[in-house]
Structure 1
């Protein structure tokens, strides 16, 4: 019987530049601060970013995991005690469109390791590449990051449409990032939710929003997670609230999580 306790999340966006990777890093840090164990996996496989935000140069990456016999534990980079990352690599185009055999190899090597964490967070590349969509369909939850820009909404709708029509995925949570106010965030979510309801017949769930905050820009320049750089910043408080909602979801759905593998089609051994 499967006794999985790990909640897997894919954090994704229709277009680049919406702050997705920063959200992944800081949500993970907020979970760590709440005494949760989190593993971040940089799935922007051709254009790695998580290591850049942390100012580190990993010795090994997911590319090594695929091409050599190294153990997944040897690829992990510790951020804090119980808060780790699996770095990707840059400038390797064959990883951008990963075929099913490569995906099998990757996740079979990772699945037993991921089972030791409370959360597995996949930081997906932007857009609708085959790899992004197939990774998104594997996880238990999908979080779509949007901004109030019309292009972000249009591209996010297109991404959701492909997942609904081609991968039969119908459950999505939404984070509105870089919002000037709660009202702007609410309007942004409602526009996307209305389009998805009218044309795809699905109901999006509003996870919350993050204020536009200049302190976040400072933290990026210092290559330090915002939650560590300025824990009382406006955006930090928003991210902490989002982390609490995710923790409540995991607590409320323990039985549902336990009854299925961390990643669909990749059961724990």
Structure 2
């Protein structure tokens, strides 16, 4: 949308022709409008100083002051346009907030945990849907539900202790045209973002929009992500559950973090079979 505005400078016979656009490419629309408004005020003041009433002009005055009358009409159109834009913007904002509120409520209902005390484990577990999750990652689930994936992303998904690290290295080398040097120099925890881990900042990952592939690791099922999860390249690692049980048992007994397990082997197997491990 374009307008042609005219304004009068101090010289009574000098007309300055000005043009501006209300296109989205304008870097500072409101500043442009303010500048033209200042020109309009100067023109109106000049006319008033000459004792001319713009609402009651003779035919001769209308011809002489035609540029100012055009400018007055143009600004009337601008005011109407800005009013319509304000109404549209307010409506869009309100609908967006309503949608975000509804989505947030759905996520809260969907991810509402049922807390359970697990024998021999240091911390509680949270039953969400059909899944038993560690207490440490529950606070991250809402963020994960809103995280946006794209087609260039690579995700290595698996149950814990299924050989994830080995597959991560293979996938990384394939995606980087077998760049062994970067694989040696950069630790795998820096090349892959462990999505549900508490120390991983998802907001920072979202801002990192580059043409390069982003590498992710997760032990969560697809239900905990949004529809954009389907856009990414997902490699799922499956391992014999018997081997997983043995590996997970020794891993949880050896680590010195919140997930430590202190019980016997036979109890661990029973817990694993009924989804308490």
Q: Flag whether TM exceeds 0.5 (same fold).
A: no
Q: Per residue, is there more helix in 1 or in 2?
A: 2
Which band: TM-score by shorter chain?
Answer: under 0.3
Q: TM-score, normalised by structure 1?
A: 0.23
Q: TM-score, normalised by structure 2?
A: 0.22
When Rg is computed on C-alpha atoms for both structures, the one with the higher figure is 2
Q: Relative contact order (C-alpha < 8 Å, sep 6+): which is higher? A: 1
